[in-house]
Chains A and B, each alone.
Chain A
C-alpha cells in the first residue's frame, strides 16, 4: 500500500517538476517520462504482489472533508485494474518520450507530462479509493487531465470539437455518479460515503437497488463507452496524441467497468433483468461497435470503435455473471465475471499495442487515412509484426490472449444454454460473440492488410522510417504480454476469478469449486496452442527444406496478364469492407459522394464515403439542438442589467424562505 501511494506521489511530483521545466522541451520530456516510468514500475510490483497473495490492504486517515474518512483499499479487484493501468501508463510514457519529442518546439511538453502523469495517478486513485468523495475527486481529476491531453493540439478545429464533446459526455456521466453515491450513502443510514459502510449495509440497499443499478449503468457506462453513451469515444481517441489514446482506450475507459463492478459489490440479490440489461447493452455495443469500426477510414477512429466493441464483449460477460448470481449458479458467475475481467486485462494489452502501432504509423507517414497507406511492412517490420500480433489477439484468435477471455465468456454462454431459465441468454451471447468474432476478423484483416501489406498508396507511405527504440520497446513488451497471458492461461484465470468473490459475495467454497470448471479447459488450450506452434514450425521447416536448392523466382503480381500493376489498382479499405457495410447499410447510413465516369473517354471519377455515428446524428444532435432552442427562448432573462439580476437573487431567496416556512 505504501509503495503504491509512494508511486502515485512520484507520478504527481514528476508531473509538477515537468510543468516547471515546461519552457525548455528536453528536461520536461525527461522528467515527465522518467517520473511516469519509475512511478508505474514502483506501482506495478505491489499491485502484482497483492493479486498473487490474494490479500487486501487498506489505510484510513481522518480528513477535514465531510462524508467519511480518507480511506483507500487495495484488493484483488482493484489490483486487476491497477496492474494494467501502471503497465500501460509506464509503457506509453516510454513511447511518448520519443513520440512527443517531435512536438517539442511547437508545444509545451511540460504541460503534456503534467496532465499525463496526473491522469495516471488519477486512474490509480480511482481504482483504490474506498470513499465516495475521494473516488469522485479522483474521477474528476482523471476526466479533466484527459480532457487537456485530448486537446493537446488545441489549434485544430476538429480537436477542439472532440474535446468539447468529451468534456460534456464525461460530466453528464459524473452527474449520475453524484446521485448514485448520495443514494448509496442515504441507504446505509449514516449519510457517510465510506465503501466499508456501503458493504456493511448491503441488506439495506434493496429498496433502491434498481435505481442504484440504473444510475451506475448510465454514469459508469458513459465512461466505459456503452452504446448509446459512446459518442465521445470515436471523437476523442483519434484527436488525442497516440500514447494518450492508448492509455485512454486501454485503461481509462475500464475505470467505468471498475466502477460498475464496485457498485455491484454493494448490492445483493441482483434481479435477473439486470443481467439481461447488461447482455442487451453488450450485444448492441459489441455488434454496432464492430460494424462502425468496419466502415471507418481513419485508423485511430477504427480502433476507437473497436474499444466500444470490446467493452461490449466485457459487458456480455458481466451480464452472464450477473445472471449467474441471481440464478444462484456460481459456475455461471465465475465464467461470466472471470471472462469479463480477464478481457479487461487483455484489452488493455492489445488495444494499447494497436494504438501505439497506429501512432508509429502516423508518426512515420503523417496520416491516419488507411486508404493512403500500404506496404509499410517493408520499411517498418517491427511495427508491422507487433501490430499483427495485436490484430490476431483482438480478433479473439488462438493462440493469443484474446481467445482465452473470449473462450471463458463463450464457456459461460454454453454453460447457460444447458441450464433452465438462462438458456435463451446463453444462446444470445453465443450468437453475439460468434458474429462479433467474425466481423472483428474482417475488420483487422482490413486494418493490417491495407496499412502494412501490398504497395504504398501514396507518397507519404512510400518514404517512411521505422520507429525508434523508445517507441518500439513498448510495443514489443505489449506483444510479449499478449503471448504470455495465453501461455499462463490457467494461472491467469485462477487469479482473475479471485476478484469474482469480491463482486458477487458468493461463499468462497462455491466459487472455489466452480473455478475448476474455468481453469480445467485452460491447460488443454495451452497444450493445443503449443502443438499448433510446433506444427507450424515443423511445416515451415519442411517448406524451407523443399524449397532449398530449387529455383525461386520473383515476378509481379498476377493481374490477368497485365504486367504493370500499379499501387492505385489495389483493393482499398473501403472496397474491402464494402460488402459488409452494404449489408448493414440501414444501420450505418454512410454518406456517399459519387462522381461517375461517363462519356466515351471518361475523365476523372471519384467515390467517397463517410460513416458518421448513428447516435450522434439521430439522437444527440436533435437533443442538443432542442436544448439550445429552449435555452435561446430563455435568453430574455439575461438582459445584462445588474438591477435585474439582483431582483432574481432576491426573488430566489424569498421563494426559498417561503419553502422553508412550510
Chain B
C-alpha cells in the first residue's frame, strides 16, 4: 500500500457526484437543452445537508439507520477498489466477494428502510429492487471471475496464488492490451455484462428511470420517497459512490492501457469513467425503459454473457 492507494478513495469521495452531473448534462445536450450545471448534485447535497428532516410516524430506528449504513457500506467498498495498477488500500484474495456483498448490505438496509414506512409504493420499489439485484449478482461475480482468468492466462502467477482466487487489485493490474489481444472476445463479453449490471444496479434506463415522476413506475427512487434532509443527502451521495464503484470495475476492463506510470494509468481509468457517464447519458437519451417483465430477461442474458466469457477463456 502506498500513498497513491490512499488517494483513491479520497478521489472517489470527491469526484463521484460529478458523474451524475455528466450524465444529466449529456442528456440535456442530446435533447437540445442547456441543462443543469455539471456540479448540480454537489449543490443539491449542500442544500439537503442544511435542512431539517421530516419522518413518518410509522417509521422506526430502521428507517433512520438505512441511509447511514448504506453510505457506510459504499464508503467501505471504496477501500477495496483499485484503479489500474494502483492497488486498493485493502486488497486480499477474494476481496471482490466482499465488495459485492458490501453493496448487498447497502441494498438490504435501503430495502428494509423502505418497508419501514409501510407505504405500498415503497414496498413495490423494494420488491423490484431485490428481484433485479438477485439476478444481477451472478453476472457481476462471474464477469469478475472471467476477467481474473483472462489476466492469469497471459501472466500466470507463482505459488502465492494457487488457483483462481485472486484479488481485484492484481486482476486489474494484469489487464493490459496484451490480454485484450489474447482473449479479446471474452473481455468484450465481460464488458457487456458489466455494462448491464452497471445500468441495472444504478437504476438507470433501460431498467429504471431516475427522472420519472410516477411512483408506480419507479424502482430505486420510490424506495427513498420518505427520506428527507441530511438522510436524503446520504442516500444521493451513496448512490453516486455506487455509480463510481461499479463504473470503475467496468472502466478498468475497457481501458487496459498501461503507460508505465501508475498515476497516468489511474487517470486514464477515471477519464474512462467520465466517458462511461457520457455513454450512459446517450443510452438514456436514445432508449426507452424496458417493460418490467422484460428486465429479468436482460439481466439473465448478462449472466449468460459472463458465463460465455468464462467458457471462452477455458476453451482457448
Residues of A in contact with B (beta carbons under 8 Å apart): 329, 331-332, 374-375, 377-378, 388, 392, 395-398, 403, 407, 410-411, 414-419, 423-424, 426-427, 430-431, 434-435, 437-439, 441-442, 444-446, 448-450, 453-455, 517, 520-521, 524-525, 527-528, 531-532, 535-536, 538-540, 543, 546-547, 550-560, 565, 567, 569-571, 575-580, 583
Contacts and interface: CB of A to CB of B under 8 A. Distances in A.
Nearest to A522: B92
A388 B303 CA distance: 30
Contact of B234 (A395, A543, A551, A556): A543
B138 A430 contact: yes
B37 interface: no
Interface in B79-133: 79-80, 90-95, 97-98, 101-102, 104-105, 107-108, 111-112, 115-124, 126-128, 130-131, 133
B149 interface: yes
A583 B115 contact: no
A571 B54 contact: no
A543 B68 contact: yes
Interface stretch (B173-181, B188-196, B225-233, B281-289): B225-233
With most chain B CB atoms within 10 A of its CB, the pick from A374, A555, A559 is A559
A24 B110 CA distance: 51
Given A427-B142, A438-B135, A524-B95, A535 B130 contact: no
Contacts, number: 278
B307 A427 contact: yes
A576 B127 contact: yes
A547 B123 contact: no
B228 to A, nearest CB: 9
A578 B127 CA distance: 8
A543 B228 CA distance: 12
B290 interface: no
Contact of A437 (B55, B104, B115, B166): B104
A539 B67 CA distance: 9
A138 B162 CA distance: 42
**Size band of the B side of the interface?**
35 or more
Interface stretch (B57-65, B202-210, B248-256, B259-267): B57-65
B145 interface: yes
Given A445-B126, A546-B230, A557-B58, A580 B72 contact: no
B134 A558 contact: no
A414 B118 contact: no
Interface in B263-286: none
B73 interface: yes
Given A554-B55, A557-B119, A539 B229 contact: no
A397 B119 contact: no
A9 B235 CA distance: 57
B19 interface: no
A334 B75 CA distance: 32
A431 B138 contact: yes
B28 interface: no
Contact of A536 (B53, B69, B90, B121): B69
With most chain B CB atoms within 10 A of its CB, the pick from A411, A424, A438 is A438
Nearest to A418: B164
With most chain B CB atoms within 10 A of its CB, the pick from A332, A374, A397, A416 is A397
Contacts of A441: 104, 107-108, 111, 130, 133-134
Contacts of A375: 58, 118
A375 B57 CA distance: 11
A449 B111 contact: yes
B116 A449 contact: yes
Given A397-B108, A571-B115, A517 B134 contact: no
Contacts of A437: 101, 104, 134, 137
B93 A571 contact: no
A395 B104 contact: yes
Contact of A414 (B54, B137, B164, B303): B164
Contacts of B95: 521, 524
Interface in B33-65: 49, 51-62, 64-65
Nearest to B157: A418
B80 A546 contact: no
A374 B108 CA distance: 18
Contacts of A547: 52-53, 229-230
Contacts of B80: 528
24 contacts: A331-B162, A377-B60, A377-B61, A411-B93, A411-B97, A416-B164, A418-B164, A424-B314, A427-B310, A442-B130, A442-B134, A449-B126, A453-B60, A517-B93, A520-B92, A520-B93, A521-B94, A528-B76, A532-B76, A532-B102, A540-B68, A543-B230, A547-B229, A579-B292
Nearest to B216: A560
Interface of B: 49, 51-62, 64-65, 67-69, 71-73, 75-76, 79-80, 90-95, 97-98, 101-102, 104-105, 107-108, 111-112, 115-124, 126-128, 130-131, 133-138, 140-142, 145, 148-149, 152, 162-166, 215, 225-226, 229-231, 234, 292, 296, 303, 307, 310, 314
A517 B165 CA distance: 9
A493 B53 CA distance: 45
B131 A580 contact: yes
A397 B108 CA distance: 9
B108 A416 contact: no
A513 to B, nearest CB: 10
A455 B98 contact: no
A541 B104 CA distance: 23
A445 B137 contact: no
Nearest to B127: A576
With most chain B CB atoms within 10 A of its CB, the pick from A414, A448, A554, A577 is A414
A396 B101 contact: yes
Contacts of B98: 398, 403, 407, 525, 528
A418 B135 CA distance: 24
A453 B135 contact: no
Given A528-B90, A583-B131, A557 B226 contact: yes
Contacts of A442: 130-131, 134
B165 A414 contact: yes
Contacts of B73: 532
Nearest to A559: B119
B55 A455 contact: no
B115 A453 contact: yes
Contact of A546 (B49, B60, B117, B225): B49
B104 to A, nearest CB: 5
A92 B136 CA distance: 38
A556 B126 contact: no
A490 to B, nearest CB: 12
Given A407-B94, A411-B93, A414-B94, A550 B163 contact: no
Contacts of A543: 64, 67-68, 230-231, 234
B145 A580 contact: no
Contact of B112 (A415, A448, A517, A569): A448
Nearest to B131: A579
Contacts of B91: 524
A521 B98 CA distance: 10
A437 B102 CA distance: 12
Given A445-B115, A524-B95, A575 B314 contact: no
A218 B177 CA distance: 51
B145 A430 contact: yes
B119 A565 contact: yes
Contacts of A525: 92, 98
A395 B137 CA distance: 13
A438 B133 CA distance: 7
A587 to B, nearest CB: 14
B112 A449 contact: yes
A531 B75 CA distance: 10
A306 B162 CA distance: 33
A565 B130 contact: no
B164 A426 contact: yes
A435 B118 contact: no
B243 to A, nearest CB: 19
B101 A403 contact: yes
A448 B60 CA distance: 13
